Amino acid sequence: MTTTRRGPERGGAASVRFLALALLLLAGCTPARTLPAFPAPEALPPGSPLRSRSLDPGTAWLRYYLITGEDSAALAAFGRHSAIAPGDHLLRALQHALVLRRAGEYARSNRAFEWAEREIERRYTRSVSRGVGSILVSDRTLAYVPTTGERMMIPFYRMLNYLALGDTGGAVVEARKANELRARLEPGPVEACRESGMVQYLAGLVEASAGERNDALVSLRQAEQAFDGCPDGGAPPSLGGDLYRAARAAGVEELADSVRRRYALAPDSAAAADGDLVLLVESGFIGFRTEEALHVPILPEDVHGLGYDDDLGIERAAENVTYRMRRRAWERGGWDLDGDAGRTMAVAAMLGGDYVLRLAWPAFRLEADAPAGVRVLVADSAAPLAGVGDLSLVARDEMERQRPAMLTRLVARGLTKYVLASQVEKKARKQGGDGAGYFFGLLANLAANETEHADTRSWSLLPDRVMMTRLRLPAGSYEVRVEVTGEAGAVHVHDLGYVRVEPGSLAVLSDRVWGGERRDLPVAPMEEPPAPQADSVVAQRP
């Protein structure tokens, strides 16, 4: 049974109610963006981002420019009149910083990251409410705030930028900031294993190369702890040797002996004239958010006695409806997402006088554009590659952990819209009769659903995965190449030129590779939802 559009008895001023409806209607009227003309499909390779039916068009163009090496076009996309770059200034700065880095503009990239860091802190710390726009329209009206996983990548890239500029001191500052940020944000198990370990490993190497022995030891031990949390014990083989040398350098011989035994290390035969080479290979693009939706009928017991200013009542009703939805999804092994039939039934129910909520939330999709294989050659000798970061897995896990709270917020917003729509219908019926009440009630329901859209914004130019080669080499110059196996077995060579390895120093290189391949993430488990607290339950239905 669903409730017909006969609203609660409580209400506010008519001007407030009609203003709310006007906001709902106007929010759906966003100006269209002018994008470049898309190439003919036959002119694009099968894995091209411009072929995607899920990517935001602006993101598709940015990915296309990076894959094809059109750095000037990618930079121009952030011009004042471009319709490609994100509209939110913070997200725009993060995307721009990666494009600048790709173009070799390391100092400008760091300036963009520096502005983004300040803006993130401002958005996190300002004490304001979510705002009437988000209550009535959608989360997309709020200022974008990066996830924990996204924030951890800022000091990572700033370290690499400073190293590319030859500024070891600047890289050390970013290494410390990375460790402080990790301690403050307290990443979850997946973030720690698949991302924080990588960032802290690089921080430890940077600190060790700068003679910051104690800091290096702390960073490397934290990296080891993060990697140890991986189901597959995913610490790169080189970490044990680095941790052993850091412990010895810091004078902690007992720890050094423990590490040597744990990793079964041979006696360290490296000469004082040896140096260190690290190559980080970023692969493909991170998974992104796209919209999914379903329609949920409002039951009479869900809204009985609610008024638009009854925040506590709406919160409790939202918890009850959310629990009912999550329980059904858990029992059925998935969500009853909208198809053509579901949308048709929802429209029919609204035409029949029922009130139906449209709930839209982000779903995770991976179109990695990753190569089939990668091989690193240092002076014509193959160097081992180890996976150190899986940013798509981190992003998917973060989104799934946010889903329960996100659903409750969506339902609460939908119930608020329902109460406001009921007031509009009641006012119209009083002034114009049942026909006017039906018409304005239906219009309010349609307007509320039309303005409900998922917040699918994310830092979508990040890589899918990160791999690492770590070598100790005699001082000298070494040619470094990356061989990328793409579609149909074609091999492309990225010649990174010669790198000079100095005694006791750290040389860091990085590369970004693509190839059009797709990969499947492991299925995200759906956990049984906890029942609402007794004092939060309005009504429970099977």
The tens digit of pLDDT for each residue in 222-239 reads: 999 999 988 876 789 999
Banded pLDDT at 347 (limits 50, 70, 90): low
DSSP reduced 3-state for 354? strand
Confidence of residue 16 (pLDDT cuts 50, 70, 90): very low
DSSP state of 517: B
pLDDT computed for residue 10 by the predictor: 40
Residue 318 burial (CB < 10 Å; 0-12/13-18/19+)? buried
What pLDDT shows up at residue 157? 98
Give 248's contacts (C-beta < 8 A, 6+ positions apart). 256, 268
Determine contact, residues 198/393, Cβ cutoff 8 Å.
no
* pLDDT over 80 (residue 9): no
Measured on CA atoms in the order 330, 334, 144, 394, is the torsion positive or negative? positive
Q: How far apart are CA 495 and CA 511, in angstroms?
A: 10
Distances (CA, A) of 317 to 46, 270, 304, 413, 538: 47, 66, 9, 11, 6
Per-residue confidence (pLDDT) for residue 478, from 0 to 100: 96
Percent of the chain at pLDDT > 90 equals 49
What confidence score (pLDDT) does residue 11 get? Answer: 40
Residue reference for tokens 């219009």? 443
pLDDT grade, residue 368 (50/70/90)?
Answer: confident
Q: In a 3-state reduction of DSSP, which class is residue 153?
A: helix
30 pLDDT band (50/70/90 cuts)?
very low
**CA–CA gap between residue 332 and residue 353 (Å, rounded):** 29
How high is the mean pLDDT of the chain? Answer: 83
* Distance between CA atoms of residues 354 and 442, nearest Å: 9
Q: What is the pLDDT of residues 172-205, one digit of tens each?
A: 999 999 999 999 998 888 999 999 999 999 999 9
Q: How, if at all, do strands 386-390 and 465-474 pair? A: antiparallel
The tens digit of pLDDT for each residue in 249-258 reads 999 999 999 9
pLDDT reading at 474 higher than 70: yes
Position 420: which residue type? L
Most confident segment among 73-77, 293-297, 315-319, 486-490: 73-77
Alpha carbon of residue 176 to chain centroid: 23
Q: Is 256 helix (H, G, I), strand (E, B) or coil?
A: helix
| Paired residues of 473 in beta bridges | 275
- List the single range of 19-33, 72-86, 295-309, 475-489 with lowest mean pLDDT: 19-33
Look at residue 32 and give its three-state secondary structure.
Answer: coil
- What are the tokens at 369? 């554009």
What is the predicted pLDDT for the residue at 395?
A: 95
pLDDT given at position 344: 61
Q: What is the pLDDT of residue 359?
A: 81
Residues 68-84 have a mean pLDDT of: 91
**What does pTM read for this prediction?**
0.86
Report CA Rg, the chain: 27
Q: What is the pLDDT of residue 138?
A: 66
> Higher model confidence: residue 517 or residue 200?
200
Instruction: Please write the tens of the pLDDT for every residue from 290-344.
Output: 988 877 777 777 777 777 677 788 888 888 888 888 888 788 777 766 555 556 6
385 by DSSP, 3-state: which? coil
Is it the case that residue 450 has pLDDT exceeding 90? Answer: no
Query: Is the pLDDT higher at 151 or at 315?
Result: 151
> For residue 23, is pLDDT > 60?
no
Under 8 Å between Cβ of 279 and 295 = no
Look at residue 463 in the predicted model and tell me its pLDDT: 97
* Token pair for 23: 């906001």
pLDDT at res. 490: 84
